[in-house]
Structure 1
Amino acid sequence: MFDLTYKSIAQPSTGVYRDKGSKFLAFAYPVKSETEIKSILQQLKKEHPKANHHCFAYRLGAYKNIFRHSDDREPSGSAGRPIYGVILANDLTQILIVVVRYFGGTLLGVPGLIQAYKGAADDAIQQASVQEFEIEEYYNLVFRYELLNDVMRLLKQSHATILQQQMSDDCSIDISVSKKNADNFINGISQNYLLKEGVTLKVKS
């Protein structure tokens, strides 16, 4: 059975880990795109210009199929992967965790770094509000204006959200609908002769 929900954090949160003078500041964010992630990383570098490292990991998509982690010049596998491990351990997606390190003068070694980055990331998640969110599916509908009332009635019955619309002789509406209601929405079109013949339905990514 396919999942109908996914887990993420509701708001940004922070965490901290200290060891031998080094300070590891963790920042966790709910995110929806790599463009948003890039902007956050740039902003954090502006806010912490004297930090030695900005290591991070993220996972995107309700189906958890987009991910990346970075050691940012720390020894390979000592920073980004432990941060990503915290994301996996909590079964989260649509999330970015950045850990900013201020070096304290004493080398921690790879095992110490792994523990530090994992500890900071884990603290940020412990401080966060983890919630379940419904998986949304996205569609574009194109139809003749005289079908507008029938389409709107179906959207209301399916608890769909209108994201964008253009009204003229030929109407176009972009919608999102929860995965649990998607089958009812599609069946509502296929089982209504006027809608089946008059609505062009496209899945949007």
Structure 2
Amino acid sequence: MQATYKTIKTDGLAETEIKKSRFLCHLKRVTSEEEAKVFIQGIKKEHWKANHNCSAYLIGEHSEIQRSSDDGEPSGTAGVPMLEVLKKNDLINVCVVVTRYFGGIKLGAGGLIRAYSHAVSHGLQTVGLVMGKLQQEISLDLDYSLLGKLQNSLPETTIKETIFAEKVTVICRVDEEQVENFEAEIIDLLQGQVTITRGATGYEEIPIE
């Protein structure tokens, strides 16, 4: 599992108008090529009256699967520029479809490239991006007398839950690459008066401003 990834915060839709043509940018998180194809076909069915439904997607931890389609626009003027925007933002597991309703004014090859690129960039700004960080769940069992000392040394964002029983159990989430350092610091802070248990690993998604 990779330590971090970037993707869109949520599925969504953003619209722009360029020289009377409407560009609707549909974005969706996907985890397989089949899922991406179903999404693209769904948009095409919904917007069957549109002049073009161009698409691009990146799938896999290292974007192993990359596809794009100009859907009738001049070759290289839509799908590839859309894909490049996703790649420049280092995103994974994203499918984008830009629907164009022609407004009567031709944009030319350069204009089309800029329009489709802008539509995707605007779409990403609209739905937002997140950074996923691989984190380890760590349980700390300690005496009540040490709780204040521990809480004062930990950022609030690190503590997931505190359970009060015969002893106190503080459940923390720590970035995977920081686990060994974190455990060593806790042992040193509490002078060994703590029982440390590692739990599940998973991704925590943090919005990118």
- Name the TM-score class by shorter chain: 0.5 to 0.7
**In the aligned structure 1, how far is the partner of 2:15 from the partner of 2:117?**
10
Q: Which residue of 2 aligns with 1:122?
A: 121
RMSD over equivalenced CA pairs, Å: 2.0
Per-residue CA shift, 1:149-176, capped at 9, x if unaligned? xxxxxxx94405xxxxxxxxxxxxxxxx
Q: Which residue of 2 aligns with 1:172?
A: none
**Alignment gaps of 5+ in structure 1:** 137-155, 161-176, 179-205
**In the aligned structure 2, how far is the partner of 1:98 from the partner of 1:86?**
13
Total equivalences in the alignment: 142
- Per the TM alignment, residue 13 of structure 1 is displaced from its structure 2 partner at its CA by 2.0
**In the aligned structure 2, how far is the partner of 1:90 from the partner of 1:128?**
14
Q: Give 2:100's aligned amino acid.
A: R
**In the aligned structure 1, how far is the partner of 2:83 from the partner of 2:112?**
14
Q: Which residue of 1 aligns with 2:6?
A: 7
**In the aligned structure 2, how far is the partner of 1:80 from the partner of 1:96?**
11
- Per the TM alignment, residue 135 of structure 1 is displaced from its structure 2 partner at its CA by 6.0
TM-score by length of 1: 0.64
The structure number with the bigger radius of gyration is 2
TM-score by length of 2: 0.63
Q: Which residue of 1 aligns with 2:91?
A: 92
**In the aligned structure 2, how far is the partner of 1:40 from the partner of 1:157?**
39
Identity of aligned residues (%): 41
Alignment CA distance shift 1:42-1:88 (3 Å)? same
Q: Give 1:74's aligned amino acid.
A: E
**In the aligned structure 1, how far is the partner of 2:52 from the partner of 2:200?**
45
Contact 1:17 1:116 in 2 (8 A): no
Contact 1:86 1:118 in 2 (8 A): yes
- Per the TM alignment, residue 3 of structure 1 is displaced from its structure 2 partner at its CA by 4.6
Q: Which residue of 1 aligns with 2:200?
A: 159
Q: Give 1:106's aligned amino acid.
A: I
**Structure 1 segments (4+ residues) deviating >4 Å:** none
**Alignment gaps of 5+ in structure 2:** 136-196, 204-209
Q: Which residue of 1 aligns with 2:186?
A: none
Contact 2:2 2:61 in 1 (8 A): no
